[in-house]
Amino acid sequence: MSSDTYVFANVTANDVIKRIAQDLGLRIGTMENTGYRIPTLVEDNQKLLDIICKALDLTLIATGQIYVFYDDFGLLTLRNARNMVVDIMVGDESLAYEYSHKRTIDDDTYNRIKLVKDNKDTGKREVYIAQDSANIAKWGRLQYFQKVDEKLNSAQIKEMLDQLIQLKNREKRTFRLDALGDLRIRAGCYVPIAIEELGINQYFLVDECTHKWDGSAHIMSLDLKVV
């Protein structure tokens, strides 16, 4: 949670984590390679954890892949959420005993993506737009705006557009579920959820996970989301 200033160029999120960890004398554990190289990342007087999270957000936008960053008993660890699948069905007839369900477009939902790049050679601003006209008619215009790195070419920006409209042009669907505890389930993993009443039978990402013990009784509370 310390704050500092960092300037990175042509680095992966792994590089960002390793550099910060080295500067702070922290130990590194498993680091799955994100593959995507961030053209530039300039952060002035920002919390180090926020800098790492921004690098992972940029990776998500560019690749569509979610990476989970966590402390594994003193070792900073980075894993692709797709490699953290827990095949333990949780639902009506398996572990779960209470749940609540929420759907909203008020939190990080956008049906129009607008990216702009300042072209120093032409002196003009290039504008790239992707939108879902059907959802705009249904919800009204919900626009996401971002200024992109000048080093990105048109193909890279269009690819970013496609990723952003896919990630953000949908309702945010979340669950809060209480169930009998299983220590294999932790934040960042994918868990299959089956709730017949809601017609749900699919994998959800565990956003938050709390395990509680009362004597021999072990329960867990899961905050889940569709990604």
How far, in whole angstroms, is CA 118 from its chain's centroid? 27
List for the chain the helix, strand, coil content (%; round to 5): 25, 50, 25
> Are 47 and 135 part of one and the same domain?
no
> Are 76 and 9 part of one and the same domain?
yes
**Number of domains present in the structure of the chain:** 3
The structure's pTM equals 0.75
> Are 12 and 52 part of one and the same domain?
yes
Question: What integer best gives the mean pLDDT of the chain?
Answer: 91
φ/ψ of 2, rounded to 5, equals -65, 160
Structural domain for 43, as ranges: 3-82
> Are 96 and 139 part of one and the same domain?
no
Q: Is the pLDDT of residue 48 over 90?
A: yes
Q: Render pLDDT for 70-126 as a digit per residue (tens, 0 to 9).
A: 999 999 999 999 999 998 889 877 788 888 888 889 888 999 999 999 888 888 889
Q: Render pLDDT for 133-167 as a digit per residue (tens, 0 to 9).
A: 999 999 999 999 999 888 888 888 998 899 899 98
> Are 64 and 125 part of one and the same domain?
no
CATH of the domain at 188: 2.40.30.150
> Are 93 and 197 part of one and the same domain?
yes
